[in-house]
Amino acid sequence: MTDRYRSFVNSAIGRQIAPRLGLPQPPVLQRHRVGDPVVDGPVLVGAAPGGRLAGAIARTLAAVGAETWTTEAGDLRQTAADAGLAPKIYADGAAGDQRFKALVLDATGIADVDALGELHAFFHPVARRLQGCGRIIVLGTTPELLDGSARIAQRALEGFTRSTGKEIKRGVTSQLVYVAPDAEDRIASTLRFLLSPRSAFVSGQVVRIMPSDRDPELNWSEPLKGKVALVTGASRGIGEAIAQTLARDGAHVVGLDIAPLADELAAVTGRIGGSAITLDVTDDDAGAVLAERLKADHGGVDVVVHNAGITRDKTLGNMKREVWDQVLAVNLRAPEAITRALLDAGTINRDGRIVGVASIAGIAGNFGQTNYATSKAGVIGLVDALAADVAARDITINAVAPGFIETQMTAKVPLGIREAGRRLSSLGQGGLPVDVAETIAWYASPASAGVNGNVVRVCGQSLLGA
């Protein structure tokens, strides 16, 4: 569905009129196209004294061929040089009108309140020097793994990144990545995702990275080559985009949808060289059927995406029990039952990935959606409940929580609420199905072995539940 308002304010005449009338000006977001570089402009890297991630950041920037700048000529420059970079030095005012595509700070060295001044010292001089659709990334240490002043100071980082996401417009996003001790070598897939236009509609998020001893061979252009991915609800909307994106990344996609949508499903899987299963995920034997089919046809499955979902909105006083039950059955009971069945049968291969599709309604609650919000909060509970267990099998489980995404589901929302859903976010617009799909592709990558137990909102930093 087109966002006519956004198209208008980005037209020649709209660009003149909108600022005069004080109207919001949602930018056209830059999105990834096959063959694009990870980051298409200069990246400024800084580090608070005592940090432990500069080397890992530098290795990732070197691997993606980024034009890298640092703020000082000391240790950081040497670390970058060791990674094969020849960073340029940026001193405030000395580099004229130099602008940056991304600002990355290793904040792991911040161990008390006074050291939080490092945030100001690094970002203040360059806050106005970010290009459109630029990136702010702060990397810290998981506060729950620290004590005392360091724990307080690391927790404080979240207020900074969430605020810069709201403050700096023009499609700029801002994120915080908490890296556990000994997980330094696990940041590459997350850093690439957050730097790139693949994360166009993700902002104000906190990602947690854990250590992992899995060291799969990485093929960054086709990370899912040789993998099998099950996507439920794949015949349209977000599910179709997930199927296409995982196939682009090399996976053989097994699309699933209900029998009445068999033709649409076959069209999607046909286009991407995948296969199709028509099945209702709420069937009592759905998990057993899938375990048997995936084992027989593909020897197992590597990526399971529980995307199928429904809404049946009513205020609680008007909601019949059967409507409550339908939504809970599709959105929550089925993902839990299917996940358990596939795990019990050993159908999910080592290095497997399980992904739930929650919603910001499951975080913030929503009028007329007690059933839907309960089911989607439950998807987050599923991630919490299983993360430690699946990690013991070298499998990860994470969820996305989409905000307002332009699909058939949201096209049915009344115009006023639809406009509010689009504009009440830092990026001032709805997302596209591909934005959810790219986030799932990041979780699915073999390089994301340390990304477990996360719930990342794909919502343009919606004010709902912020």
Ligand X SMILES: NC(=O)c1ccc[n+]([C@@H]2O[C@H](COP(=O)([O-])OP(=O)(O)OC[C@H]3O[C@@H](n4cnc5c(N)ncnc54)[C@H](O)[C@@H]3O)[C@@H](O)[C@H]2O)c1
Please give the positions annotated as active site: 372
Q: Is the Cβ of residue 166 or residue 312 nearer to ligand X in the bound state? A: 312
**Which three-class secondary structure state does DSSP give residue 140?**
strand
- Per CB under 6 A, 289 contacts ligand X: no
**Which three-class secondary structure state does DSSP give residue 257?**
strand
Q: Is the Cβ of residue 189 or residue 366 nearer to ligand X in the bound state? A: 366
Backbone angles phi, psi at 275, to 5 degrees: -130, 165
Residue 51 neighbours by CB under 8 Å, 6+ apart: 106, 107, 108, 109
Choose the binding region for ligand X from 3-11, 27-35, 235-243, 244-252 (rule: CB under 6 A). 235-243
Residue 333 is classified by DSSP as I
Selected binder of ligand X within 405, 434, 444, 464 (CB under 6 A): 405
Q: Is the Cβ of residue 258 or residue 420 nearer to ligand X in the bound state? A: 258
Selected binder of ligand X within 5, 404, 442, 443 (CB under 6 A): 404
Selected binder of ligand X within 141, 189, 349, 359 (CB under 6 A): 359
**Shortest Cβ distance from residue 80 to ligand X (Å)?**
40
User: Is residue 437 a contact partner of residue 443, using CB atoms and an 8 Å limit?
Assistant: no
Choose the binding region for ligand X from 136-144, 153-161, 216-224, 397-405 (rule: CB under 6 A). 397-405
Selected binder of ligand X within 45, 357, 373, 377 (CB under 6 A): 357
Selected binder of ligand X within 175, 371, 410, 454 (CB under 6 A): 410
> Site size for ligand X, by CB under 6 A?
27
**Shortest Cβ distance from residue 451 to ligand X (Å)?**
20
Q: Give the strand pairing for 100-106 and 88-89.
A: unpaired
DSSP of 32-55: --TT--S--S-EEEEE-TT-S-HH
Q: Is the Cβ of residue 233 or residue 446 nearer to ligand X in the bound state? A: 233
User: Is residue 432 a contact partner of residue 197, using CB atoms and an 8 Å limit?
Assistant: no
Backbone angles phi, psi at 300, to 5 degrees: 135, -170
Site map (CB under 6 A) of ligand X, residues 245-284, x = contact: ------------xx--x------------------xxx--
How far is residue 174's CA from residue 204's CA, in Å, rounded to a whole number?
5
- Residues numbered 62 to 81 that lie near ligand X (CB under 6 A) are none
Site map (CB under 6 A) of ligand X, residues 317-346, x = contact: -------------x----------------
- Per CB under 6 A, 402 contacts ligand X: yes
**Which three-class secondary structure state does DSSP give residue 182?**
coil
Picking from 206, 174, 173, 187, the residue whose alpha carbon sits closest to that of residue 30 is 173
Site map (CB under 6 A) of ligand X, residues 299-318, x = contact: --------xxxx--------
Q: Is the Cβ of residue 102 or residue 305 nearer to ligand X in the bound state? A: 305
- Per CB under 6 A, 464 contacts ligand X: no
Q: What is the largest CA-CA distance in the chain?
A: 67
Selected binder of ligand X within 26, 42, 237, 378 (CB under 6 A): 237
User: Is residue 105 a contact partner of residue 122, using CB atoms and an 8 Å limit?
Assistant: yes
Token pair listed for 265? 């499903």
Selected binder of ligand X within 51, 233, 378, 446 (CB under 6 A): 233
411-to-299, 418, 461 alpha-carbon distances in Å = 39, 8, 20
**Shortest Cβ distance from residue 247 to ligand X (Å)?**
17
Residue 135 neighbours by CB under 8 Å, 6+ apart: 39, 101, 102, 103, 104, 172, 173, 174, 175, 194, 195, 199
- Per CB under 6 A, 238 contacts ligand X: yes
Selected binder of ligand X within 174, 175, 212, 235 (CB under 6 A): 235
Q: Is the Cβ of residue 54 or residue 256 nearer to ligand X in the bound state? A: 256
How far is residue 391's CA from residue 116's CA, in Å, rounded to a whole number?
33
- Per CB under 6 A, 239 contacts ligand X: yes
Q: Is the Cβ of residue 186 or residue 236 nearer to ligand X in the bound state? A: 236
**Shortest Cβ distance from residue 267 to ligand X (Å)?**
12
C-beta atoms surrounding 281 within 10 Å: 24
* Angle of helix 321-328 versus helix 370-391 axis, rounded to 10: 30
Q: Is the Cβ of residue 235 or residue 244 nearer to ligand X in the bound state? A: 235
**Shortest Cβ distance from residue 362 to ligand X (Å)?**
8
How far is residue 172's CA from residue 310's CA, in Å, rounded to a whole number?
32
Sites of contact with ligand X (CB under 6 A): 232-233, 235-239, 257-258, 261, 280-282, 307-310, 330, 357, 359, 402, 404-405, 407-410
